Chain A
């Protein structure tokens, strides 16, 4: 068996596996384009005969998706900004030193990383309502997401900082820079890619966040797209083509960003999760 033949065979099998695995995604895109009757046809059609492209505009208008997505963006950007500002410095210090305090700090952070949001939402909701934070619900959600996701960000970014040799910073110090100068001039530029990838991962998480938003944002005009989708689905819905159109509009930007940055995201993720 020649190498090229083996490679082609492997590639073919891999494509089949990927097709099977990604079928739910395909089904989402296909369903969105079906008419109401085609959707409930038996046997189901695996290729839309008369694609309904107008469905996207219709769903966008009728579900007021612009507002939902805007709220998702506000929450995601707010969380990422807060996490990045606070988390980068923390990750740097945890990467730079090896002592008991760092071990303890790291342990605490790994512990916080695992707290399920659906369990933490009860005390956070009650506490926030008592200090009046629920009057600004999107800010409340941003704070809650930041507390939930920062540990993960710190773990990922710490791995990046650990790959920046300590000597470079020391060289900058001997060359006449202060700690602050060396951090911004040397360390930060070299860790930029890792920080960016981690921030994108956090952004994706925050963009799809549901538990906190569902629990803390009562006003419809402030709810993000995940809560909007939840409301849309209801218990006994029949509008699956519309729901799938909604889902398509919601996730396609995320998927596009992921596929573009795939290699970096995957390597950033794997370096942090196991190290």
Chain B
């Protein structure tokens, strides 16, 4: 007993104590649900069997049924479009802004930080604002596009099947751009200034310096940011709930919203679990990429 006590005050016992409680907590509240999710995807779960632990196992039936549904492939495709377009938009605009704010002038870092308000706001509020901006007859975006001559008639962003997904993508790009920009700024400021001075002496122009120094030096940062973007866009739920609810007719539905919709709107928990398992495997793959690209910093 004395030994254990002195280990806690002076030795490894202190560390073990500090780390074991949170890990146990995470195991119970993240690890177990993860396993339970996989179990449920092989079971038949309905409103009646929800409360009991002994539910009939049905093998791969849920998976087979899922891919037999007509909306499955379009929703997967939507997810791919949503992720790709969001990341591309966030990254390109974010990189542009980061490069602009890289030039130091008074107030640059404060103004740059201000952009991050889009990221700290509750997702549902962002969704509500964009819902209103994108509204068909009275939306300010349609007004601006009409005035500048980009469009002739109003676009019904939320209810037109060919635009509904893009309504969410626009909102998501707005939401995530600032985060991309901040991280890219950190990466840019990590490039030693004397590299540019050396390149300039070697005769490289601004464009050549960008391609031969900035981009290669940013490679691990860019890798981490794209992987983080993938992780964050796959977590995006609030905007769908606030703007289109996946409609009309699933044209703006994506897997992470669909999984929730199956479970909590249609009470088909087994299907919800099934689609969750598929997506979680995918997200984990993305996070391995993320961890790998920040590995050297993780290990210090």
Contacts and interface: CB of A to CB of B under 8 A. Distances in A.
A86 to B, nearest CB: 4
Contacts of A162: 300
A11 B228 CA distance: 30
Contacts of B66: none
Interface in A94-131: 94, 96-98, 103, 105-127, 129-130
A172 interface: no
A24 B123 CA distance: 13
Contact of B32 (A44, A127, A255): A127
Nearest to B103: A10
A89 B37 contact: no
A117 B231 CA distance: 12
A2 interface: no
B263 A122 contact: yes
B22 A89 contact: yes
A240 B283 contact: no
B128 to A, nearest CB: 5
A10 B241 contact: no
Interface string B90-125: 000000010011010111111101111110111111
A27 interface: yes
Given A39-B138, A115-B283, A244-B132, A122 B259 contact: yes
A123 B273 contact: yes
Interface in A16-70: 17-18, 21-22, 24-25, 27-28, 31, 39-40, 42-44
Interface string B64-97: 0000000000000000000000000000000001
A103 to B, nearest CB: 7
B284 A122 contact: no
A222 interface: no
Contact of B283 (A116, A144, A208): A116
B183 A262 contact: no
Given A44-B138, A89-B19, A116-B234, A254 B36 contact: no
B25 A274 contact: no
Give the interface size bracket for B toward A.
35 or more
B156 to A, nearest CB: 13
Contact of A93 (B19, B33, B120): B19
Contacts of B272: 122
Contacts of B157: none
Nearest to B245: A235
A107 B291 contact: yes
B33 A120 contact: yes
Contacts of A230: 124, 241-242
Contacts of B121: 208, 251, 254-255
A27 B287 contact: no
B13 to A, nearest CB: 9
A43 B135 CA distance: 14
B19 A94 contact: yes
B283 A262 contact: no
Contacts of B137: 40
B40 interface: yes
B150 interface: no
B162 to A, nearest CB: 20
A105 B15 CA distance: 13
Contacts of A7: 105-106
A93 B124 contact: no
Interface in A228-261: 229-230, 233, 235, 240, 243-244, 247, 250-251, 254-255, 258-259
28 contacts: A14-B101, A21-B115, A22-B118, A24-B133, A25-B117, A27-B133, A40-B137, A87-B22, A90-B19, A93-B18, A115-B280, A117-B235, A118-B235, A119-B275, A122-B259, A122-B263, A123-B273, A130-B50, A150-B22, A150-B26, A208-B122, A209-B122, A210-B123, A226-B238, A229-B124, A251-B121, A251-B122, A255-B117
CB-based closest 8 A-B pairs: A208-B122, A89-B18, A147-B29, A123-B33, A119-B276, A10-B105, A90-B22, A86-B22
Interface of A: 6-7, 10-11, 13-15, 17-18, 21-22, 24-25, 27-28, 31, 39-40, 42-44, 86-87, 89-90, 92-94, 96-98, 103, 105-127, 129-130, 143-144, 146-148, 150-151, 154, 162, 178-180, 183, 201, 204, 207-211, 214-215, 225-226, 229-230, 233, 235, 240, 243-244, 247, 250-251, 254-255, 258-259, 262-263, 265-266, 269-270, 273-275
Given A111-B291, A122-B276, 11 more contacts: A28-B132, A87-B22, A89-B18, A119-B256, A121-B260, A122-B273, A123-B33, A123-B273, A127-B36, A226-B125, A262-B114
